[in-house]
Amino acid sequence: MKKLKLVLIGNGMAGVRTLEELFKLAPDLYDVTVFGAEPHPNYNRILLSPVLAGEQTFEEIVLNNLAWYAEHNIELHLHRKVVEIDRGNRRVIAEDGTVAEYDRLIIATGSTPFILPIPGKDLQGVIGYRDIADTQAMIDTATTHRHAVVIGGGLLGLEAANGLKLRGMDVTVVHIGDWLMERQLDKTAGKLLQTALESRGLKFLLPKQTAELLDDGNGRVRAVRFAEGDEVPADLVVMAAGIRPNYALAESAGLACNRGLTVDDTMRTSDPNIFSIGECAAHRGIAYGLVAPLFEQAKVCANHLAMQGTAEYHGSVTSTKLKVTGIDLFSAGDFMGGDGCEEITLSDPIGGIYKKLVIRDDILVGACLYGDTADGGWYFRQIRENHNVSEIRDLLMFGEHAIGDAGHQGQDKAMLMSDEMEVCGCNGVCKGTIVKAITENNLLSVDEVKKHTKAASSCGSCTGLVEQILINTVGGAADVKPKSEKPVCNCTDHTHGVVRQAIREQHLITIPQAIAALGWKTPNGCATCRPALNYYLISTWPGEAKDDPQSRFINERAHANIQKDGTYSVIPRMWGGVTNAAELRRIADVADKYNVPMVKVTGGQRIDLLGIKKQDLPGVWKDLDMPCGHAYGKSIRTVKTCVGSEFCRFGTQNSTQMGIDLEHAMFGMWSPHKVKFAVSGCPRNCAESGIKDVGIIGVDSGWELYVGGNGGIKTEAGEFFTKVKTAEEVMEYSLAFIELYRQEAFYLERTVHYMHRVGLEHIKKAVLDDEERRRALYQQLLFALSLEQDPWKERIEQTALKKEFERIPVAAL
């Protein structure tokens, strides 16, 4: 039988997903022709932001490579924009004259960025953010220009801003709304997000209305002017102020349009031979911009193209689960609330957690989560299925596990899910589909599950849940690598462990040597791998490998912590939290001389000078004449102490002197991540020794040592390590542990995570059970520190430091 002819206009995610669904139902019904305006195969637009940020390459986000099109005998026309639909003759015509006839036509032309209709919108350096070409333009501009302005505080705008910041640009986000992402977050969550992003160096102006883009005289943008008349410099302006359905082609062909290409519940347009899906289609007056509704539409469209004629699309109840620059967000339903609604909220601004649940007539109708989105999928099911929550109202805020039976405690979320429960909201994949694919196709990795089911292949937020399902289904056969065993970055396929081992075994002492010996994919590495390589080299070969300032973070290069307004925080070291009148006078004099706006006592018992201008940093350090506190470094930060037996009536040991001695012993030490010590003079533990990387508590008969504590967002109590009698033993045992951590931990791995990875028994065997190894580790650390000149002191004394502050560091993050 002669095949029908199917033409797809638009080679994006929605259109190609329709073909994938069609091939499942009727693989031989059509000869398929695809027109794509871009010169690329189908790729995941959701992952453009990681490409901009340097976390992924374009090749890694391609969904269907050219071989896939060939495998399905698709006639593919790339970089050919269709300019006419001749409905009378059932054919489409591309701008280069290419003609394709059709029996059925799918229009999936997507959307276009909304460009503000203001003077200067056509200047060079003004772009939208919609495709890989826009992404590449931003990457290229970041190498030659400094100031970027992103107009729009939605998801795309924030991801663009973060990527440009990581590329070394000075970024300002301009938003007309009162808070960020107002369509996905309420005001409280939006403000929390802004605060978090400001701490990463992004600047925000809101509510702010853009009036004009100014010309530099050569046709390129130089500044953004606002309605109030003020300006900000801009070498690059990214318009991320929304999208518009791209239906001009359909409208010119006489198809019914109303703020999108009008479709019915079968995804047919006003012409029964023409279908439309995706962002260009308006179903019941709504054009959806999220992936999940588009993929639901694709299934319905494919059903009718396959001539099964049973499926209908009735619209989507949408939820949004996002990761904005590493911050988890979730919202669903009517999360703003209002008249007739009750609101349950949990707010922990310090911990970065905010949850808001909206209830109407005992039905959960909306949810907004910031920071902790683990129960987002469960809340979404309650909203979508209109469950009555009156009997579980008191426990609702604490999520699904709080509702379950006591017998369920300890089981993971995947085990508690029924087969019909949705795992991947983007692609509408339920647990049963995933389990069936795993068992029928003998799948053993998450990547294989992605390929067969599309679960976790879009935004990626459900990857962990897919991994749990895989493990529960195939057990130990699952090929699930822990994060620490994944490649260092996209520049290499090698893990941190392989890189460390190669540096040691091949005696590599420079970054170029390491890159060449390990076959790096990029000639110079990136901002992710260079700091790691630099640490591995100097920690493996002390005295031989030279510290590379170009491979350090901006805070380490400036010897101060950059703040949200571009000023810096300077923290001089106070050994063990102890100071004297002379140091305090110098600090006070510096505060006066440099007009320091805030002087604050830190949680680590030191004094912080906040608001110092970059150009004043060399002078500040010279006038202070105190060692640097390394508050910015992957190094020893502080040794917190209580007053101990010297003054306290409860003190059993001299904790203050012990803390001073430890801090002196480790000064100038670089480590995989920041390291904090604390010494308490008695079991009352006033120095909070139980939540430090190394905690030391004085008791009547000596000292107790604890390791692996962490006082961050997720507080971890330290594990009891050993008990010793003398101060000399405290020094030897604790520094031996730190040297073992320095030698074995992966870059940016805290002691608690290192300990969980290798096991406490492994650490005890090396430090406690093997006296020779312990003393060797102790001596190795002392040897390394004896060879290292303090980079702070050495570089502060060099006048070149001033020049360094005046330029953008290569490895600035």
3-class SS letters over 569-597? EECECCHHHCCCHHHHHHHHHHHHHCCCC
Q: What is the pLDDT of residue 806?
A: 37
Please check the confidence at residue 382 and state whether its pLDDT lies above 50: yes
Q: What is the pLDDT of residue 363?
A: 92
Please check the confidence at residue 471 and state whether its pLDDT lies above 90: no
Q: How many CA atoms lie within 13 A of 437 on its CB side?
A: 21
Q: What is the pLDDT of residue 74?
A: 95
Average pLDDT on 534-538 reads: 91
Domain 115-241 and domain 633-789, same fold? Reply is: no
CA-CA distance, 720 to 760, in Å (whole number)?
10
Q: Where are the domains of the chain?
A: 4-110+245-305, 115-241, 485-551, 633-789
Residue ranges with strand state E in 417-497: 422-424, 429-430
Q: What is the pLDDT of residue 321?
A: 67
CA-CA distance, 691 to 293, in Å (whole number)?
45
Contact 758, 742 (CB under 8 A): no
Please check the confidence at residue 812 and state whether its pLDDT lies above 50: no
Average pLDDT on 219-226 reads: 94
Average pLDDT on 148-168 reads: 90
Each residue's pLDDT tens digit, 350-381: 777 889 999 999 999 889 988 888 788 788 88
Q: What is the pLDDT of residue 413?
A: 64
Residue at 515: amino acid letter: I
Tell me how far the alpha carbon of residue 413 is from its chain's centroid: 23
CA-CA distance, 430 to 465, in Å (whole number)?
11
Q: What is the pLDDT of residue 797?
A: 42
Sequence-ordered list of residues with C-beta below 8 angstroms from that of 573, at least 6 positions apart, any chain: 606, 626, 627, 628, 629, 630, 663, 667
Rank 16-20, 165-169, 602-606, 632-636 by mean pLDDT and report only the highest.
Answer: 16-20
CA-CA distance, 235 to 427, in Å (whole number)?
38
**What Cα–Cα distance (Å) separates residue 781 from each residue in 327, 339, 391, 740?**
36, 64, 59, 9
Q: What is the pLDDT of residue 23?
A: 93
CATH for 633-789, options being 3.40.50.880, 3.40.50.1010, 3.30.413.10, 3.90.1150.10: 3.30.413.10
Rank 326-335, 470-479, 539-548 by mean pLDDT and report only the highest.
Answer: 539-548
**What Cα–Cα distance (Å) separates residue 491 from each residue in 305, 523, 527, 770?**
43, 9, 10, 38
Average pLDDT on 311-336 reads: 77
Please check the confidence at residue 786 and state whether its pLDDT lies above 90: no
Sequence-ordered list of residues with C-beta below 8 angstroms from that of 403, at least 6 positions apart, any chain: 392, 395, 396
CATH topology of domain 4-110+245-305: FAD/NAD(P)-binding domain (3.50.50)
CA-CA distance, 201 to 562, in Å (whole number)?
7
The verdict on domain 115-241 having CATH code 3.50.50.60 is yes
pLDDT over 70, % of the chain: 90
Q: What is the pLDDT of residue 464?
A: 72
Q: What is the pLDDT of residue 408?
A: 38
Each residue's pLDDT tens digit, 619-648: 888 899 888 888 878 889 899 999 898 888
Average pLDDT on 80-107 reads: 96
CA-CA distance, 182 to 493, in Å (whole number)?
40
Each residue's pLDDT tens digit, 241-289: 888 999 999 999 999 999 899 999 999 999 999 999 999 999 998 888 7
CA-CA distance, 310 to 302, in Å (whole number)?
11
pLDDT band at residue 182 under the 50/70/90 scheme: confident
pLDDT band at residue 47 under the 50/70/90 scheme: confident
Q: What is the pLDDT of residue 794?
A: 43
Please check the confidence at residue 435 and state whether its pLDDT lies above 60: yes
Please tell me whether the overall predicted TM-score, pTM, comes out greater than 0.75 for this model: no
Each residue's pLDDT tens digit, 734-747: 999 999 999 999 98
Average pLDDT on 682-687 reads: 90
β-pairing, 327-333 vs 319-324, is antiparallel
- At residue 392, φ and ψ (nearest 5 deg) are -115, 15
Q: What is the pLDDT of residue 458?
A: 64
Q: What is the pLDDT of residue 551?
A: 79
Q: What is the pLDDT of residue 449?
A: 87
DSSP 487: B
End-to-end alpha carbon distance in the chain: 61
Contact 490, 60 (CB under 8 A): yes
Each residue's pLDDT tens digit, 238-254: 999 888 999 999 999 99
Residue at 692: amino acid letter: K
